[in-house]
Amino acid sequence: MASLPTANTEVVAFFRAWLDTFAGYVREVDYASARPLFHPDVLAFGTYNDVISGLDQWVSTQWDNVWPKTADFRFVLDQTSILASPDGATVIAPWTSTGYHQDGSTFARPGRATMVFSRHGDGWLCVHSHMSLNRGVPQTSHANRPVKAW
């Protein structure tokens, strides 16, 4: 059996930078800057809907229910795996964040993500995302940070 199609050094560097950029937008609660990273018809799984069709629905039903209510979101880049072919790529990455109990105390909010990318022109767009919390992590966080840009 053939080995998995692991990405070359250049592709790994691109997707690590992509993850770092996206995580920065999550931390800033900057939906407007994050949107161009995704196909407008992206399909996603999320906490608040089983299957989310389209970027607008994803922003309103998932991003807006999570990003302002958490902090410190980062992908764990040294534990990220990237599979790639000329036209597609899959990124598997753990992530960390901070959640907030109702009393304002914090808790570790780790999770994992699988993101599927398709080539579009000279770049890549995410066409599917599944981000989920690790087992046992509280589903609800109670921060109320402002949205930087819609």
Higher pLDDT, 146 or 47: 146
Q: Is the pLDDT of residue 48 over 70?
A: no
| 47 token code pair | 């906490």
Q: Is the pLDDT of residue 54 over 80?
A: yes
Task: Give residue limits of the domains in the chain.
Answer: 9-133
Number of helices (H), then strands (E), belonging to the chain: the values are: 4, 8
- Class assignment of domain 9-133? alpha beta
Span 34-52, average pLDDT = 90
Average pLDDT over the chain, rounded to whole? 95
**pLDDT tens for each residue of 120-146:** 988 999 999 999 999 999 999 999 999
In single-letter form, the type of residue at position 62 comes to: Q
**pLDDT tens for each residue of 92-120:** 999 999 999 999 999 999 999 999 999 99
d(CA 31, CA 35): 6
